[in-house]
Amino acid sequence: MQLDRLIAAYDAFQAFEERCFTLLHAIADLPQPESDLECRLMHYALAKLGTGHDMDEAVNDIGWINEQPDEGDVFVWHVNSDAYLRFGHLYPPELSELVETQLISHRYEIHDGQSENHKLVIAVAGYLVAQTWPEWPQADETLARMDSYLNEFFDRVVRSGQGEFDSPTSGALYLTTLATLFDFTLDPRMRRKAAMMLDWFLVKLAGEWPSGPLVGAHSHSYTLTASSDDATGGRVVGWLYFGGQMPDLQRGEPHYAVINALSGYRVPEVIAHMAQDRDHPFAESQQRAGILSLRYGESWRTLDYNTWCVKDCLV
């Protein structure tokens, strides 16, 4: 039985790696975007750097984006910081200086009126910028403020839920920003929290994933969810982690899943099985505030958000 589990886990890992390969190469080969130019182009550049495809073009595109006047596009802030931390060793010195100048020019303010996903994107970007350039005069204050917001957000979500729950569009932004935080925070406790929050969001997604379009109630959607090939951000991330019917990666917003395909985070086996296998029951139970238990077949996983610990076991 243990050998069968190891074989199944290896097969699942291989399948995930193949989906990552497919996604990254599809995004790297996309033509110049016609809309949302800077955000899409930055993700395309990440995919190119991740695949080794047209790397000089990717570096040039990142340079062009950082030369543009800042329009307060928080999504560019996030992916710009991720690209620097992931591939900055490939940048020429002048580009590294340009990126630093751009990223430390923002105040990273979080306030009422911003959407929930905007706040998280700002918090992760500000946290990592302050961590990366500690000599920045605003670094200490920004890092403390972003750390406070992230911890408050994590605690609130696991106890009271989300405002933007199960979004087939902006839902991807929670997963992609947390993947960046998981990969690059220098704080082991924050890394563990980022991983557990990724687990938490994917548990919620797993129950609504019948190998294709999402089912069930959801919020913050600006496109139809019934189409079998509509590559919304949330649907592409779901396919990346869980498999099923591949969306059309030539349309929609598949670029939002690039960071997840590059990240070192891996979805736990018990959560992936909840999404992939509908022939056997699974259970998700909130034992008490801050503790979530999952069961699929012989596998259990307990996420204790009071102590930020994970327990895996077999029954």
* The Cα angle at residue 99 between residues 95 and 102, in degrees rounded to 5: 135
pLDDT at 224 over 60: no
List pLDDT tens digits, range 36-60: 899 999 999 999 999 999 999 999 9
Write down the pLDDT at residue 223. 60
Q: Residue 287: which pLDDT band, with cuts at 50, 70 and 90?
A: low
Task: Give CA–CA dist 158/162, Å, rounded.
Answer: 8
Write down the pLDDT at residue 235. 86
Domain CATH for 140:
1.50.10
* Count: domains in the chain: 1
Does residue 249 lie within any of the structural domains? yes
pLDDT at 74 over 60: yes
Task: Give CA–CA dist 148/80, Å, rounded.
Answer: 23
Does residue 120 lie within any of the structural domains? yes
Domain containing 216 equals 10-268
Does residue 282 lie within any of the structural domains? no
Does residue 209 lie within any of the structural domains? yes
pLDDT at 289 over 80: no
Q: Residue 226: which pLDDT band, with cuts at 50, 70 and 90?
A: very low
What does residue 148 show for φ and ψ, rounded to 5 degrees?
Answer: -65, -45
Min mean pLDDT across 72-86, 125-139, 289-303 is at 289-303
Query: Could you tell me if 55 and 90 are in contact, meaning their C-beta atoms sit under 8 angstroms apart?
Result: yes
Give the rounded percent of residues in the chain with a pLDDT score beyond 90.
61
Min mean pLDDT across 164-178, 188-202, 221-235, 268-282 is at 221-235
Does residue 4 lie within any of the structural domains? no
pLDDT at 211 over 70: no
Indicate the average pLDDT of the chain.
88
